[in-house]
Amino acid sequence: MALCAGAMFVAASATAPFATALAQSAPPQCAAFVQLREEAQQKAMAVRTAIDKKVDRKDVCTLVQRFYSAEGTVVKFLEENKSWCNIPDQAITAAKQNHERTLKFRTAACTEAPQAKPRPPSLSDAIGTPSVDTRENTKTGHGTLDSLSGNPLAK
Q: d(Cα 150, Cα 36) in Å, to the nearest integer?
A: 81
How many degrees, rounded to 5, is the angle at CA 100 between CA 41 and CA 81? Answer: 65
Lowest mean pLDDT among 34-43, 70-79, 108-117: 108-117
For 44-64, what is the mean pLDDT?
Answer: 91
pLDDT at 127: 79
**15 burial via Cβ count (<10 Å: 0-12, 13-18, 19+):** buried
Instruction: Name the pLDDT band for 118 (thresholds 50, 70, 90).
Output: confident
Residue 73 is predicted with a pLDDT of 93
Percent over 90 (pLDDT), the chain? 31
Whole-number Cα distances in Å, 28 to 22, 80, 88, 93:
10, 14, 18, 24
- Please give the mean pLDDT across all residues of the chain: 75
Q: Which of 115-119, 123-127, 144-148 has the lowest mean pLDDT?
A: 144-148
pLDDT in the model for residue 150: 62
pLDDT at 69: 94
The domain locations on the chain are: 2-110, 120-155
Q: Are 30 and 85 in contact (CB under 8 A)?
A: yes
Calculate the alpha carbon distances from 101 to 55, 72, 92, 107, 155 in Å: 21, 12, 14, 10, 62
User: Distance (Å, rounded) from C-alpha 153 to C-alpha 155?
Assistant: 6
Q: What span, in angstroms and rounded, lies between the C-alpha atoms of 150 and 1? A: 90
